[in-house]
Structure 1
């Protein structure tokens, strides 16, 4: 998993509440567990004018010119600005996979669905909760200023605007540690690899039958 320390990127404002995981990555694309290749189908039903199918060449599909990610001013966006209850619906981990594969590193919203919020941290995405009035202001600024960017500092827990206005956000120490060091669940376990090996070595001596000895 990629570590996250600081990030500055173009903001794409997605002005709708209750965006569910089926909208983020529709169910027909959940046939792989490779974590990659989902970016072209992110928000598929909103980005394209036809019905998406697995293994389809998305470069030849008709796009919806009104959808935010299809507008030139938001090309290359890596910060997604969203409304409340983002990521509701099913618990599919493919949702953060698709967002990360598309190029997003940060999602800012007034609130997130719990499972989606947790899955983001496990996949290198930083979900940031800011007060609704602050999110409203960021929407206004992003829509009024082309190329609008935000700077995010995970170590300091801050979001900074182009005018140097800074907003603080909360993130618990464990999640922060994992993102700063690029640790997913397996990575966290491997931090104790020496202790695990020492325990297994001792168990081989005290309970050899557990390891097939004498069978």
Structure 2
């Protein structure tokens, strides 16, 4: 674990860490399920599955017995549905704006490293100029690999010209913690995000575990 006083930058996951996108993601699959006269996903299932990606949400709704071609078709329909309703219920998590203002005030660089594809990230961030103007945005298809590979995080570090050891990465999935640990960054598990019941955040071996985004200020030893 790195000395928090030496942290020069904080990188964030997007969905489940900065933005609460779960209800729009869940809405995309529920509209398909309603069309097909199938039971809708509950909010609990949506929130536990959202960080695992579009295919996981499709499988949560349609089960595990379809053909690969059927899953491919449903995922394409899901993505088209999501992009048509991408910011209807999405909001900042509580405290995010205040946290970003605090980082700016203390000259701590911040950016985004997400597994969300560029198309949807760009479309979503257009609604949130506070996020779109950050120092760096790396998406799930920026490279040929995504998290849990450390390469997207290392690319972000290179683009902001800060060594990984001076960067903290915050995310709400085990893949986030695995990626940041492999990149030699200080890892922070966002326990307020989309945490699966069968994979609780305290088992991820992160350097820090936070229940609210403003807890970062305590870890960084900076005044809110």
| TM-score normalised by L of structure 1 | 0.32
| TM-score normalised by L of structure 2 | 0.31
Higher helix share: 2
